[in-house]
Amino acid sequence: MYIAAEVAEERIAAVVAAGGTVVDDSDYPALTVIADQDGNRGVLCVAAKPKSTD
């Protein structure tokens, strides 16, 4: 799921508050692997602006 950088921490906190876990945040904020209470994993991806090619 792609999300705006401004809401990344809020979304991760919501997952943890609901009983989920952060599996891997070594590439935070670009990518964060999360899991729900049953161990189902998902990836939160922060949407980034394309780099300028000037």
| pLDDT per residue as tens digits for the range 15-52 | 999 999 999 999 988 999 999 999 999 999 998 765 66
Q: Where are the domains of the chain?
A: 2-46
Residue closest to 46 by CA, chosen among 34, 32, 30: 30
Question: Cα separation of 14 and 26, whole Å?
Answer: 19
Tell me, yes or no, if the pTM score tops 0.75: yes
